[in-house]
Structure 1
Amino acid sequence: MSKYVRWANEHDAEILTVLNHEFNGVELTADEVENSLSSTNELIALAILDDQPVGFACAQCFKSFCYRDSQGEITEMYIKETARRKGLATLLLSFLEEELRKRGATEIKVITGMNNAAALKTYERSKYVKKTYVVFQKKQ
């Protein structure tokens, strides 16, 4: 079993549309994903298992005047059901953490559902500490 993580690129647009639909039900076209890949500062990593893309994770690095250092945030992470429990989520986390560190982030936040036990366990094993934030969301 070979497993690794690499940066996603425009050639991955088709598989990213499939993985994203499985993850959150949003239907995007490959053209939309390709345009996003070429026009955003979002970091998108792809998990590969036996030469097949089986997951992805996204991150952002940003600077606010409110803080001395850059802030990192891992915003999305998904591994296909058949590829779970093989260490790919941890590989994705490490890969993104390293890049965020290179970009000056001294703190990284991850947001996940409070009932997502597998994700919570993964983040805790990776030394993330649970905080007590409340997130509000509003559709415009």
Structure 2
Amino acid sequence: MYERGVHVRPPRPGDKGVLAELIYRFYMLNEEFDPLWTLRDDAREAAAEEAEKIVSGGNGDIVLVAEAGEEVVGFIRGYIREMPLLANGRVAVVKEIYVKPQARRIGLGTLLIERFSEEARKLGARAVAGEFPAQNAIAHRFYERLGFRSFMHTMIREV
């Protein structure tokens, strides 16, 4: 399923530019599904700031990049949600996952989820959840195909 030369690793400082672009593309894609995901005018700069935080290691998130050959072609970012009253008290939440279009359909998204899950287990998580816009049917099918199920619903309204 995965091509030779494809691997997943933590981001390095040299990945900052491509990581910023992948973060920006993730939000651009999700803007198509819900107007509340409309990007702000300086979204590219904000993505660059997020990438800077990630590569400097200062944000506490679980972040991995997928590399095919010498090119970073995808990323995943999430965090640990503490739920102290539940038996599964630590849940790792995927909040962003994106693979460049030319690198899709070879299992990189699945590989990113697998490696994210391994990192989450090391941090004591007993479950992994994925967050995405409710209207994103592509993401819904992706997570279902990997064995995810509905766990919690988030409702939103503008104020």
> Which band: TM-score by shorter chain?
0.7 to 0.9
Per-residue deviation, 1:101: 1.1
Q: 1:123 aligns with which of 143, 154, 158?
A: 143
Are positions 1:88 and 2:108 aligned together?
yes
TM-score normalised by L of structure 2: 0.75
What is the aligned partner in structure 2 of residue 34 from structure 1? Answer: 52
Q: Does the CA-based 8 Å contact 1:13-1:31 persist in structure 2?
A: no
Distance, in Å, in 1 between the alignment partners of 2:6 and 2:63 is 17
Identity %: 26
What is the aligned partner in structure 1 of residue 82 from structure 2? Answer: 63
Q: Secondary structure at the match of 2:133?
A: coil
Distance, in Å, in 2 between the alignment partners of 1:78 and 1:46 is 10
Per-residue deviation, 1:120: 2.2
Q: Does the CA-based 8 Å contact 2:10-2:63 persist in structure 1?
A: yes
Report which stretch shifted further, 112-121 or 93-102.
Answer: 112-121
Q: 1:114 aligns with which of 124, 131, 134?
A: 134
> What is the aligned residue count?
139
Distance, in Å, in 2 between the alignment partners of 1:73 and 1:89 is 15
TM-score normalised by L of structure 1: 0.84
| Bigger strand share | 1
Letter in 2 for 1:79: V
Q: Does the CA-based 8 Å contact 1:5-1:92 persist in structure 2?
A: yes
Gaps of 5+ in 1: none
Letter in 2 for 1:35: K
RMSD: 2.3
Change (3 A) 1:107 1:35: closer
